[in-house]
Amino acid sequence: MIIAANLKTNLTRHDTASYIEEVDKCAKQSNQEVFVFPAISSLDSFSAEKVEVGTQNAYPTVNGAFTGEIGLEQLEEFGIKTILIGHSERRHILGETQEFIAKKFAYFKEQGFTIVYCVGEPKEKREAGKEAMMEYISAQYEGIDTSYEKLIIAYEPVWAIGTGLTPTLEDIEDIHTELKQKSSAPLLYGGSVKVTNAKEVLSLKNVDGILVGSAALYAEHFCTMIQYADEIEK
Ligand SMILES: O=C(CO)COP(=O)(O)O
């Protein structure tokens, strides 16, 4: 399975290096694919053997005049070949449109990156019923090559991110089953995954892994989740 940590705007460069070192130790003892997405200023030439380090964001360019962004040149310095695209915080806080996200996707696909592509509905769409919700999520697949061989999709309901709220296990399984019909890419669940619910979520049909935010900030907790995945036969 795929166990991924999105560190968001947390940890210094120094702390990130210790974090990755610690996670790499437990990842090496596991059969899981482990990804860590540090803050951009913490990207570095890590000596991790098993952990794949990715970037939380980049602009679809080699370099140029894009203040505040980084491009391919800055990623290549550290051998980064994995990117998160479409995260709800970039869609809703930073205002990225589906059109721009699709452009970013096409660019990094062209560069052969592994892409962790995030989709998920806000609370009002969830409350509007399943049809409205699925329609909203479907629009997030527009312009995205769902058969890209290095694609990983993460379903992250916006209302479940950082809130402690999660859909029921039945709901996660149900939505994952629907989303698997749109793409056979590995499908992760994200949104308030923690040590106390990770095992149940990982056991669900059509859940191929987890994308963890706040609970992954503690290497020990994240390692426990990696171990849980090892304990589950899939
Ligand atoms: O956004 C997330 C991972 O990308 C999930 O964040 P939390 O685990 O903090 O809810």
Kindly state if the Cβ of 80 falls inside 6 Å of ligand 1: no
pLDDT-derived band of residue 213, with 50, 70 and 90 as boundaries? very high
CA 225, CA 26: separation in Å to the nearest integer?
10
Q: Report how far ligand 1's centroid is from the alpha carbon of 99 (Å).
A: 23
Q: What is the pLDDT of residue 234?
A: 72
Q: Was domain 2-231 assigned CATH 3.40.50.620?
A: no
Whether this model's pTM surpasses 0.95: yes
Catalogue the E-assigned strands of 22-69. Answer: 33-37, 52-53
Q: Provide the 3-class DSSP secondary structure of residue 5.
A: strand
Residues making up the annotated binding site are 6-8, 162, 192
Catalytic residue positions, numbered: 87, 156
| Tens-digit pLDDT profile for residues 163-175 | 999 999 999 999 9
Q: Is the separation of the CB atoms in 78 and 55 below 8 Å? A: no
CA-194 nearest atom, ligand 1? 8
The DSSP symbol for 68 reads T
Kindly state if the Cβ of 56 falls inside 6 Å of ligand 1: no
Which amino acid is it at 71?
A: G
CA-216 nearest atom, ligand 1? 8
Q: Is the separation of the CB atoms in 67 and 99 below 8 Å? A: no
CA-closest candidate to residue 212, choices 29, 35, 12: 35
| Tens-digit pLDDT profile for residues 127-136 | 999 999 999 9
Kindly state if the Cβ of 214 falls inside 6 Å of ligand 1: yes
| Chain-centre distance for alpha carbon 78 | 20
Give CA angle at 185 (83, 121), nearest 5°. Answer: 75
| Tens-digit pLDDT profile for residues 23-35 | 999 999 999 999 9
Which residue's CA is the closest to the ligand 1 atom numbered 2? 213
CA-88 nearest atom, ligand 1? 1
Is a pLDDT exceeding 90 seen at residue 219?
yes
